[in-house]
Amino acid sequence: MRGKGFINSLPLVGWFLLSRCRGCGVPSPSLLCPQCLRKIQIVDGSCERCGLPYPQDVPICGSCVDKRLHLDSVIALYPYRSPLKEVLHSWKFGRSYRAWKLIRELFISAMEAKKEKIEAISPHLVVPVPLHWRRKWTREFNQSALLSSLAGKLLSVPVEEAVKRIRHTSPQRGSSFRERKKNIKGAFALKGEVRGKRIIIVDDVATTLATASEIGRTLEKGGALEVHLLVLARVEKMYDTKD
Ligand SMILES: [Zn+2]
Ligand SMILES: [Zn+2]
C-alpha cells in the first residue's frame, strides 16, 4: 500500500509535500514562496531620529518629537511586518537555519542599499545588545550578536560587547515607551572602552527604542562620541499607549 510508508521512503518528496510557505501557507520548497518573498521591501524613507518608515527621509517626526532618545540616529532596514515577521519568529523561537540563511541574505542586501548612509557615520565599533545570562540559558543564542558580527564584517569595523546586562528585565512586549524606559533603566553597565568612539548598536527588531536608548545612555556615560542604532526590522509605530 502506498500510504505514509511510501512518503517516508522518499524523504525529499515527503519534505516537499509537508513544507509550506511561512507567509501564506501554500506548499513551498523554500521558507517563503516567490510572492511572499517579493513583499519584503527595504525601507525607503524614514525618520532619521527614530527610524520609523515614511515616504521620504525626515529629520524628526511627530512620534518621536516628545521622546528623549540617547541615540544620534536610527537606521531601519525593513518594516517589521508579515512575512518577515514570521521568518524572524522561525529564526528566534524555532531556531530555523533556513530562516537565518534568508535573514542573512536580506541583511546583506539592505546593508548594500543603505551603504552610503551607514558609512557616513564612520563607525569605530559595532556593539550588540547583550542578553542576560539567564536568558542565554533558555534561548542559547543572541540574534543581535549574530547580526552584529555580520555588520562588522560588511563594514570592516570591530565588534565588541561594550555593554553587559547587570539586571534581569521582564519581557517587554506590550508596554509603552515610558513603561519600557522605566523597566530597562540601569539594566546595563559598561564593559569596554568607548571614549571618543562612534558606535553602531545592531539589533534584530526595534519597537519602542527604550532598550537601545538605555544602551546609548550607558555608552554616552562612558564617553562615546556618537551612538547610532541599526535594526533589521522596525515596528511601524511608536507605542504610546498600552496595546
Ligand atoms: Zn507565500
Ligand atoms: Zn521620529
pLDDT at 238: 72
Residue 114 pLDDT more than 60?
A: yes
Confidence class for position 141, pLDDT limits 50, 70, 90: confident
Q: How far is the CA of 38 from the centre of ligand 1 (A)?
A: 9
More confident residue, 87 or 207: 87
Name residues with Cβ closer than 5 Å to ligand 1, which is an ion: 21, 23-24, 33, 36
Report the SS3 class of residue 74.
Answer: strand
Distance between CA 7 and CA 94 in Å, rounded?
A: 24
Confidence class for position 243, pLDDT limits 50, 70, 90: very low
Distance between CA 225 and CA 243 in Å, rounded?
A: 35
pLDDT at 181: 83
Q: How far is the CA of 82 from the centre of ligand 1 (A)?
A: 10
More confident residue, 176 or 77: 77
Report the pLDDT averaged over residues 47-56: 94
pLDDT at 242: 36
Distance between CA 5 and CA 133 in Å, rounded?
A: 44
Report the pLDDT averaged over residues 112-134: 91
pLDDT at 241: 39
Going along the chain from its start, the domains and CATH numbers come out as 1-39 (no CATH), 40-81+111-234 (3.40.50.2020)
Q: How far is the CA of 139 from the centre of ligand 1 (A)?
A: 27
pLDDT at 136: 61
Give me 172's grid cell. Answer: 517587554
Question: Please, are residues 99 and 88 in contact by the beta-carbon 8 Å criterion?
Answer: yes
Q: How far is the CA of 236 from the centre of ligand 1 (A)?
A: 22
Q: How far is the CA of 202 from the centre of ligand 1 (A)?
A: 28
Ranges assigned E (strand) in 48-196: 53-54, 73-79, 125-128, 163-165, 188-190
Give me 226's grid cell. Answer: 556618537
Handedness of CA 62, 118, 36, 84 (dihedral sign): negative
Task: Find the ligand nearest to 33 CA.
Answer: 1
